[in-house]
Chain A
Amino acid sequence: MITGTPKPIEELLEMLEPYENIIVAGCFGCVTVCRVGGDKEVQVLSSTLRLAREAKGKNLQIREVCLERQCDPEYLELMRPYLEEYQAVLSIACGAGIQFLAEKFSKTPILPGINTGFLGVTERQGEWTERCQGCGDCVLHLTGGICPVTRCAKSIFHGPCGGSVEGKCEISKDVKCGWQLIIDRLKSLDQMENYGKIKPYKGWDSSRDGGPRRILREDMI
């Protein structure tokens, strides 16, 4: 899922200072699962903002909505009938949803209510960790299902590097060396021959280096 963290309330209050009538828009997708932008978070954030503003003697009218997804146009269209009644939208979806809202409703300021994080997994309730950087050229079949792009701090392809000590990465004793994980996994899978396969060149053009990416499925159009 796409993860995120709430923006500090002070930052949001500053952002909302010019407005008196807004929509707080959540998303039932990834941000609901990682408890940062779902229906409950819309309610808590809206109450918090109203209380903070009212304590300063200023009102803030909020319409609380939560869309099925903010990254699909049909759900965004549900907001169109009433959007003009509001001065701004504070979206607590991921950055993709926030930008899509801004694209579809170009005359309404769309404000980010969260800081979007990474593509990750739920380790346990309240803990998420990164697993994928969407490089566009997956090699997990060669690396025991552990991604060197994400799990290695340097994203190298022939690790471990000299900074790997007793299975830990040099950036922090709390971070496991991605390549040590890969080697251990390949051993347990009896696939160490994969470790010897030299990948001469990774084409980063399928990653962010090629600019904003697009997937076009002509069979679906």
Chain B
Amino acid sequence: MLPCTGRIDESLLLKAFENGADGVMVVGCLEGDCHYVNGNIRARARVERVYQILEQIEIGPDRVRMYNLSAGEGAKFAAFANEFVEIISTIGQSPINKARSGNSQPVQEVES
């Protein structure tokens, strides 16, 4: 847990995928309500950059997502977490984990 999502940078998010995460959700304060002025806005920009990186390297961009809520919204946090887990469950294992577990699909030969 970080004191502010403004501390998040792209390498932290990518490291999570390297360490075996199938998805990463970033939960920050409501936009316009950052104690450190714009930490959550910076975090959003970095999450978007990781989204693009994951798309480029075909890991699946939807595996990273940012949510905003206030510290008092426990029920909303649970709902967001359940929603994200549902999304990741639908997408399935990340290609990294598939490759590590040896479950990757073999390359299909195309008949010419």
Q: Tell me the residues in window 79-127 of chain A with beta carbons closer than 8 Å to chain B beta carbons.
A: none
Contact between chains at B95 and A55 (CB < 8 Å):
yes
User: A50 contacts the other chain (Cβ, under 8 Å)?
Assistant: yes
Decide: A40 near B57, CB < 8 A? Known: A47-B18, A51-B17, A57-B104: no
1/0 per residue, CB under 8 A from A, across B65-104: the answer is: 0000000000000000000000000000011100110001
Decide: A54 near B99, CB < 8 A? Known: A44-B14, A47-B11, A48-B14: yes
Contact between chains at B57 and A9 (CB < 8 Å):
yes
Contact between chains at B99 and A44 (CB < 8 Å):
no
On chain B, the residues within 8 Å of A55 by CB distance are 57-59, 94-96, 99
- The count of chain B contact residues (Cβ–Cβ below 8 Å) is 18
Q: Tell which of B14, B56, B95, B104 touches A47, judged by Cβ atoms closer than 8 Å.
A: B14
Contact between chains at A51 and B56 (CB < 8 Å):
no
Decide: A48 near B57, CB < 8 A? Known: A55-B99, A57-B99: yes
Q: Tell me the residues in window 39-75 of chain B with beta carbons closer than 8 Å to chain A beta carbons.
A: 53, 56-59
1/0 per residue, CB under 8 A from B, across A1-25: the answer is: 0000000111000000000000000
On chain A, the residues within 8 Å of B57 by CB distance are 9, 48, 51-52, 55
User: A206 contacts the other chain (Cβ, under 8 Å)?
Assistant: no
Most chain B CB within a 10 A radius of its CB, from A10, A47, A50: A47
Within the complex, the shortest CB–CB distance from A46 to chain B, in Å, comes to 8
Q: Name A's interface SS.
A: helix
Within the complex, the shortest CB–CB distance from A71 to chain B, in Å, comes to 25
On chain A, the residues within 8 Å of B9 by CB distance are 40, 44
Contact between chains at A51 and B18 (CB < 8 Å):
yes
Within the complex, the shortest CB–CB distance from A39 to chain B, in Å, comes to 10
Alpha-carbon gap, A43 to B9, bound state (A)? 10
Within the complex, the shortest CB–CB distance from B51 to chain A, in Å, comes to 13
Q: Tell which of A10, A40, A54, A56 touches B56, judged by Cβ atoms closer than 8 Å.
A: A10
On chain B, the residues within 8 Å of A54 by CB distance are 95-96, 99-100
Contact between chains at B11 and A40 (CB < 8 Å):
yes
Kindly report which residue of chain A lies nearest to residue B56, judged by CB atoms.
Answer: A9
On chain A, the residues within 8 Å of B17 by CB distance are 47, 51
Kindly report which residue of chain B lies nearest to residue A9, judged by CB atoms.
Answer: B56
Within the complex, the shortest CB–CB distance from A55 to chain B, in Å, comes to 4
1/0 per residue, CB under 8 A from A, across B9-20: the answer is: 111001101100
Within the complex, the shortest CB–CB distance from B58 to chain A, in Å, comes to 6
Kindly report which residue of chain B lies nearest to residue A53, judged by CB atoms.
Answer: B57
1/0 per residue, CB under 8 A from B, across A28-71: the answer is: 00000000000010011001101110111100000000000000
Contact between chains at A44 and B96 (CB < 8 Å):
no
On chain B, the residues within 8 Å of A40 by CB distance are 9-11
A residues whose Cβ falls under 8 Å from a Cβ of B: 8-10, 40, 43-44, 47-48, 50-52, 54-57
B residues whose Cβ falls under 8 Å from a Cβ of A: 9-11, 14-15, 17-18, 53, 56-59, 94-96, 99-100, 104
12 A-B pairs within 8 Å (CB atoms) are namely A8-B56, A10-B56, A40-B9, A40-B11, A47-B11, A48-B14, A51-B57, A51-B59, A54-B95, A54-B100, A55-B58, A57-B99
